Structure formats: structure tokens, C-alpha cells
Amino acid sequence: MAEGVDTPTAILASAAAALRENPFDDISYRTLGDAVGVSERTVYRHFPTRSHLLEGVAGWIESTEFPLPPFVTIDQFQDAARARFLAFDSSPAFAFVCARAASISPTGEPEPTFFTRALATMLATNHPSVNERDRRRVAAALRYFASAQFWARMRTGFEMSAPAIADVFERTVAKVLGDVLILTDTEMAGVSRRAPA
């Protein structure tokens, strides 16, 4: 194990590396322990179930392979999501692991993710008149439509590429924002401009 790296992070990095050659279900706790230089019991202590491990690996992959650049406006968010869809296409095995993890019941704390909080903050900054409940709803919708889970559904269900998925995403963003937020004519023109009819 590398100096200065904590054990859970080393386990997650090892699991992600193993995903390059094996499906998630074929990665054993014993193999992870051997790769990191700890016992199988230590791996179980940090990740008591396969769901915990899957959720941890997906979080690690999201932060290292598919980081979302900072955004302040809807346009910046849409550009970031488009780049993320291209990254998913470049590493589909990692993206499918993230999508699978999103479909299981969460094992961690129910606190909103950084991504959800960033979306809610963007909405509060750009649309202060919208109530918090609607901001949370819109943030949750935007988060889903920019996720690996949405990408995977479009990729497998409709055989769409990243650019086509991004087009669907942008039309969906325009619809979600138009339905909930009161946008000025200038803001709506900017959102509509990006979403083809």
C-alpha cells in the first residue's frame, strides 16, 4: 500500500483497477486484500457488503474518472454534462458500475451529495424567487439526467451515443426548467437555444 494512502481509499483504487479486467461481481474481497496488502477481514471491516463496496467504488470512480467541473450557470452545467457523457462513452465499464451503484438502495448517509447541493446552490443564485422545495425537486431531476444511470439507460435502451444523449439531456433540462422555474425571456432563450426541437 502506498505511503500516505488510507486503507479504504487503497481498496477502492484497487477495485477500480480490477474493473479494467474483470466485471464487478468477479472481484473478490480476498483479491482486493492481497492487492492492498491487508487481510480479507480488513476489507470486510471497511465494506461489510458487496453493496457497500459497489457504492464506494462508484463514488471513487465518479470523483476520479468523471469529475464534474465547477458550474455557476445552466449553460456551464449543460457543457459539463455533455463532457461527462463523452467521458462515459470513453470508459463504459466504469460508467456502468456507477449506473449500477445508483440503482441500489444507498448504504451511506442520506445527506445530499455535493453534486445535488451544487445544483441547488446554482438554482438559488440564478433563480432566488423559486421556493426551496421546487429547487430541491429541480436539482434532483437535473442530477438524474446528468448521471451515469441516465447515460446507461439511453446507451443500452436506445443505443444512443454521447452526443445524442447530450441532446436529449438538453431538451429535458429545458423542459424541467420551463415547467418549474419562472425564467426571464433572456434566460429561456438561452436554454431553448441549446435544446434542438
For 11-39, what is each residue's pLDDT tens digit?
A: 999 999 999 999 999 999 999 999 999 99
Residue 93's alpha-carbon distances to 2, 88, 123, 172, in angstroms, are 25, 9, 32, 25
Residue 143 near residue 69, CB atoms below 8 Å:
no
Name, in order, each residue with C-beta under 8 angstroms of 102's C-beta and a sequence gap of 6 or more. 58, 147, 148, 149
Alpha-carbon span 117 to 9, nearest angstrom: 24
Q: Please determine, for residue 197, whether its predicted confidence score (pLDDT) is greater than 50.
A: no
- pLDDT tens digit sequence for 99-142: 999 888 666 655 557 788 889 899 999 888 888 888 888 998 99
pLDDT in tens, 30-84: 999 999 999 999 999 999 999 999 999 999 999 999 988 888 899 999 999 999 9
Are 122 and 73 within 8 A, CB to CB? Answer: yes
Residue 185: its pLDDT value, please? 44
Say whether domain 7-48 belongs to CATH 1.10.10.60: yes
pLDDT of residue 105: 66
* pTM, full prediction: 0.81
The predicted pLDDT at position 19 comes to 94
Where does 148-193 show beta strands of DSSP type E? none
- 7 within 8 A of 38, measured Cβ to Cβ: yes
Reply yes or no on whether the pLDDT at 148 is more than 80. Answer: yes
The more confident residue out of 173 and 109 is: 173
Domain assignments of the chain as residue spans, ordered by start: 7-48, 67-194
Q: How far are the Cα atoms of 127, 144, 169, 182 from residue 110, in angstroms, in the given order? A: 26, 16, 26, 29
